[in-house]
Structure 1
Amino acid sequence: MTDTFATAALTRTDARSHPQQLSQLLRNLSLTAGPKITLRDLAVAMEDRSFGAFLVVFALPNLIPLPPGSTFILGLPLIFVAWQMLASRHARIWLPKRMGDYAFENATFFVFVNRISPWLQRAETLIKPRGWFLGGRLAERVIGLLALTLAIVIFLPIPLGNWLPAFALAVIGFAHMERDGLGLVAGALIGVVSLILAGTIIAAAAAVLTFVV
């Protein structure tokens, strides 16, 4: 009996030390779920990696060419996730009932997963556990503040100003999920550059409007 408990404990420890990669986790969720998948299903599957994973899941569609106005829809979930990362006392995302119950067709989800899986798998070869320095909630709040700022920029209709912040959030999300300190620093630097670029675009647009008026 003692050996059984020891084996189970080692199995749980190994699962925490070597968490399932996001690409495989999403694929397994699609294969085991019913005809519809809810956002709550995603949150439960991702467990304590939900902040980083949800940043990745909601940031990736912003890297694909989409119709004008799509960022208004795709930016809102990012703002919601980043705000919780900044303000929540917990390490897991909380979804209100209406949002958690939001369901989409598993067939559509499967197509989406297949489309992004090659990108995810390439990223998973680069981002891995190393040099993790976010030991406390305060440090995570700082990253949450940067993520929230980037999410707001994505939400705004800034010409050519949405792709780089979305890429930065995807990198930050991946690094946070895999506990990769080096990747987190890289994502944060990309995020700062994207904010400077967005600010420059806004300033230039304001200057043009002032000159025209």
Structure 2
Amino acid sequence: MTDTFSTGTQAKSRAHGHSDRQLSHLLRNLALNSGPKVTLRDIAVAMEDRSFGAFLVVFALPNLIPLPPGATFILGLPLIFVAWQMFASRRTRIWLPKRMGDYAFEQASFAAIVTRITPWLVRAERLVKPRAWFLGSRFCERLVGLLALILAIVIFLPIPFGNWLPAFALAIIGFAHTERDGISLLVGTTIGVGSIAIATAVVFAAGTLLSFLF
């Protein structure tokens, strides 16, 4: 496993000159250097000031696959938790309650997960890369956090077909935040604002229809 990670990392660095701060590289290092278990707190510490974005990606992605009714209620709560901290916290990285932070993966299981998702991350990193980053202050980051919070609430609400597009926007915003890509952040923000407008229109139309019927 170690040889596979090392070889992949070296080849990746030679071929693309990628930064050691990219998400795929940070996860590889954590898989290589962790103890017998990897906790969510370990991941947050490894992500440092990029942990908000990383956890947005982690909790947004499950909402992009077909789920049974009511699943977004459960999956939306962690997104609200992360987005609220991004908006309101004075911290520059996520804080996890003890029970959540202590949730652990076996090192072998975590390494297997990293091995499986790394090719997808590397492909995404060819598009999402450090450029035109404009969140130079905590105030600007709070504004993005406010949008993320609104999107998380939209995902949480039982709006028919209303969760996929905001979840997609949050995944882009989170990944752009992790990679420090201002252009991708603007793309995710645009999709996010559009998804809020669509969800608002759906709720308004549903309310109008119910008023007409009853």
TM-score range, shorter chain: 0.7 to 0.9
Letter in 1 for 2:132: G
Aligned to 2:158: 157
Aligned to 2:206: 205
Q: How many equivalent residue pairs?
A: 197
- Structure 1 stretches (4+) deviating beyond 4 angstroms? 30-36, 104-116
| 2:154–2:166 CA contact under 8 A, matched in 1 | yes
Q: Deviations over 1:83-124 (max 9, x none)?
A: 111111121111121221123556665565455444422221
In structure 2, relative to structure 1, the CA distance for the partners of 1:140 and 1:113 (3 Å cut) is same
- SS state at 2:176 partner: helix
In structure 2, C-alpha distance between the alignment counterparts of 1:115 and 1:60, rounded to whole Å: 15
In structure 2, relative to structure 1, the CA distance for the partners of 1:49 and 1:191 (3 Å cut) is same
In structure 2, relative to structure 1, the CA distance for the partners of 1:58 and 1:107 (3 Å cut) is farther
Letter in 1 for 2:76: G
The CA deviation at 1:146 is 0.3
Structure 1: runs of 5 or more not aligned: 1-16
Aligned to 2:86: 85
In structure 2, C-alpha distance between the alignment counterparts of 1:46 and 1:202, rounded to whole Å: 37
In structure 2, C-alpha distance between the alignment counterparts of 1:24 and 1:67, rounded to whole Å: 34
In structure 2, relative to structure 1, the CA distance for the partners of 1:165 and 1:106 (3 Å cut) is farther
TM-score by length of 2: 0.82
In structure 2, relative to structure 1, the CA distance for the partners of 1:202 and 1:180 (3 Å cut) is same
Letter in 1 for 2:102: D
Q: Deviations over 1:108-160 (max 9, x none)?
A: 65565455444422221111111111111111111110000001111111111
Aligned to 1:120: 121
In structure 2, relative to structure 1, the CA distance for the partners of 1:99 and 1:159 (3 Å cut) is same
- SS state at 1:76 partner: helix
Aligned to 1:12: none
- SS state at 2:136 partner: coil
In structure 1, C-alpha distance between the alignment counterparts of 2:89 and 2:50, rounded to whole Å: 14
In structure 2, relative to structure 1, the CA distance for the partners of 1:66 and 1:31 (3 Å cut) is farther
Aligned to 1:25: 26
In structure 2, relative to structure 1, the CA distance for the partners of 1:94 and 1:205 (3 Å cut) is same
Cα RMSD of the aligned pairs, angstroms, is 2.2
In structure 2, C-alpha distance between the alignment counterparts of 1:48 and 1:186, rounded to whole Å: 21
The CA deviation at 1:32 is 4.8
Identity %: 72
In structure 2, relative to structure 1, the CA distance for the partners of 1:85 and 1:129 (3 Å cut) is same
**1:41 counterpart = 2:42:** yes
TM-score by length of 1: 0.82
Aligned to 1:62: 63
In structure 2, relative to structure 1, the CA distance for the partners of 1:203 and 1:151 (3 Å cut) is same
